[in-house]
Amino acid sequence: MKNIFVSIFIAISLCFSFGCAAKAPSAEAISNGFYGEFPSNYKELIAEYAGEILLDPYSAHYEFQGEPEKVWIHNDGKTYFYGWGGNVYINAKNRFGGYVGKELYEYFIQGTYVRIWRVGFTPNIHYVYQ
């Protein structure tokens, strides 16, 4: 009896996990997507946007993991956005004045649209490999 419940639980878990997986855009959509110009000022753009979400943005230290690359992100697996993105470690002070430690963030830039989020939160970046 216990094995039946375990099997049912596993089957339901697999259905939900595969059902929630985002479908990638077609190769043609990826190659024809509008990514915008390479953001040569990406460090300033990220620091400016981070200033809106960090408690003490003036204390922030940024450690970029390479230059931005072409990426796409999805919204509910049906709407795709193309742009430039990558990873950055950010270390800033908390409310008590102590540094929280380096936290890894992903960022997405498309023209003047800039967003960052901690790794592990949606949306996830998908890199375009050429």
Interval 102-129: pLDDT, tens: 999 999 999 989 999 888 776 567 888 7
- Render pLDDT for 6-17 as a digit per residue (tens, 0 to 9): 444 444 443 343
Residue 20, pLDDT above cutoff 90: no
Residue 75: closest CA among 130, 105, 113: 113
Task: Report the chain's C-alpha Rg in angstroms.
Answer: 19
The domain total for the chain is 1
**Bond into 123 cis (ω within 30):** yes
- Render pLDDT for 87-105 as a digit per residue (tens, 0 to 9): 999 999 999 999 999 999 9
- Render pLDDT for 69-86 as a digit per residue (tens, 0 to 9): 999 988 766 788 999 999
Question: What is the model's pLDDT at position 108?
Answer: 95
Question: CA 14, CA 6: separation in Å to the nearest integer?
Answer: 12
Q: Is residue 96 part of a domain?
A: yes
- Render pLDDT for 44-75 as a digit per residue (tens, 0 to 9): 999 999 999 999 999 999 999 999 999 998 87
Longest dimension (CA), the chain: 61
Distances (CA, A) of 88 to 25, 39, 124, 128: 26, 15, 14, 18
Question: What is the model's pLDDT at position 130?
Answer: 54
Q: Is residue 10 part of a domain?
A: no
Q: Is residue 31 part of a domain?
A: yes
Q: Is residue 117 part of a domain?
A: yes
